[in-house]
Amino acid sequence: MQDRLRIVLNFILLIAVQILILNNIQLFGLINPYLYILFIITLPMFVSPSFMLLIAFVLGGIIDVFSHSYGIHMAATVLIAFIRPYIMELFASREDMEKSAPTYRNFGLSFLKYASLLVVIHHFVLFSLEAFSFAHFGMVLLKTLCSSLVTMLLIFGIQSINFKRR
């Protein structure tokens, strides 16, 4: 019960931080941190794939409503929820995957690789759908790189705080 309450509180907190703070940050037209995907990245392993896709759909939809972005967050978030188990298999051992949630504390450096790849994929899809043209491919790559770096710094910061706290 306590795990489920923690999951719901994380969901609400990450949405609030994204909507109230991070959606208002746009540095040089290149950096937009999207911390809300940390929720999908750190969902416990016992969550069924179909429920995870539903959560990703709702999470992306909420961010889209408050960002006025017409479904691009929803598409990118559902994609990373779908490929998450396959990416996890690339970087985590079977023993790591049996632990309750993918965090730095549970996975170590494998978590950093796993989270980095999901963040880059999410951002690339998001900015590609936003541009919706190959004419701006260079800008999509630049925004993906810059935003992914800032998002990963935020994720690593949160994970290190949680690691030291426990």
pLDDT per residue over 123-141, tens digit each?
Answer: 999 999 999 888 889 999 9
Question: Degrees (nearest 5) of the Cα angle 67, 72, 73?
Answer: 65
Number of domains composing the chain: 1
* pTM: predicted TM-score of the whole model, two decimal places: 0.90
Question: Environment class of residue 4 by beta-carbon count within 10 Å: exposed (0-12), middle (13-18) or buried (19+)?
Answer: exposed
DSSP-derived 3-state class of residue 102: coil
DSSP 86: H
List beta partners, residue 27. Answer: 31
Q: Tell me which residue range forms the domain holding 156.
A: 2-165
Beta carbons within 10 angstroms of residue 77's beta carbon: 29
Residue 160's CATH number: 1.10.1760
What are 4-39's pLDDT values in tens digits? 788 888 899 999 999 999 888 787 877 889 999 999
Q: What is the mean pLDDT of residues 97-126?
A: 86
